[in-house]
Amino acid sequence: MSQPATEPLWGDAYRREAEARVVARTPEGGVVLDATVFYPAGGGQPGDAGRLDWEGGAVAIADTRKGEGGAVVLLPEPGAAPPPVGAAVVQRLDWDRRHLHMRVHTALHLLSVVIPLPVTGGQIGAGKGRLDFDMPEAPGDRDALEAALNALVARDLPVQEDWITDAELAANPGLVKTMSVAPPVGAGRVRLVRIGHGADQVDLQPCGGTHVARTGEIGALEIARIEKKGRQNRRVGLRLADLGADT
């Protein structure tokens, strides 16, 4: 049976909670709301965690996934009792974790600026992340790479969204940097994330994830490691410097 579509509320990435109603439950115990601030895993970004509160109950949400037909499925902690269908709930994000994802996600966009090569994969974590590049030879100066990355952060560039049609994207294939993940086409329009404005624009690419509002919010970055992954690929990892080397 198909699940009801969920209205996505994460277009405002800083929204931490919202009221909603349970419209379905999955056989595995997942909860489908009519609208949600919880971002489902996709494009290398993990699903959000948090909690749901309702009259007479509460449950911790461990993960968020995409369901069928535009549904977003919130997955409670194993063994926890989810709210019943029809219940009015208040959803509350694990904001600290989400904000780390936002900082790292925007940082990875900047990494694709200082390494202007096709991206073959990526992963976002709570304080660290990585991109895989079609890069036969390792970059020669790691310190210079890190300095260039932090220079973009320090410029405190605005991070904004734009929208284009599927046809406009098809006519501008150079906007797509990631070889391994296709942009979310089919709905008639595609979201673009723009870093910088006018003459200060440094990046523009399709992306459905959550980001900080300005690059200065990312904070200082460190290049964690550069690894060879096959004949043509290099994996470049970064981390948020304020969290230390254990992230």
Give the number of C-alpha atoms closer than 13 A to the C-alpha of residue 45, restricted to the C-beta side. Answer: 28
Strands across the sheet with 221-228, in order? 119-124, 128-134, 233-240, 221-228
Residue pair 163/184 in contact (Cβ under 8 Å)? The answer is no
1 has pLDDT over 60: no
pLDDT at 144: 94
Conformation bin of residue 23: beta by default, left when phi > 0, alpha when psi is -120 to 50: alpha
**Residue 184 — very low, low, confident or very high, per pLDDT cuts 50/70/90?**
low
pLDDT at 186: 56
Check: pTM over 0.85? Answer yes or no. Answer: yes
pLDDT at 122: 93
**pLDDT tens, residue by residue, 85-120:** 999 999 999 999 999 999 999 999 999 999 999 999
Residue pair 133/233 in contact (Cβ under 8 Å)? The answer is yes
Domains and CATH numbers, the chain: 7-93 (2.40.30.130), 98-243 (3.30.980.10)
Percent of the residues in the chain that have a pLDDT greater than 70, as a whole number: 94
User: What is the number of other CB atoms lying within 10 angstroms of the CB of residue 192?
Assistant: 20
The alpha-carbon radius of gyration of the chain (Å, integer) is 19
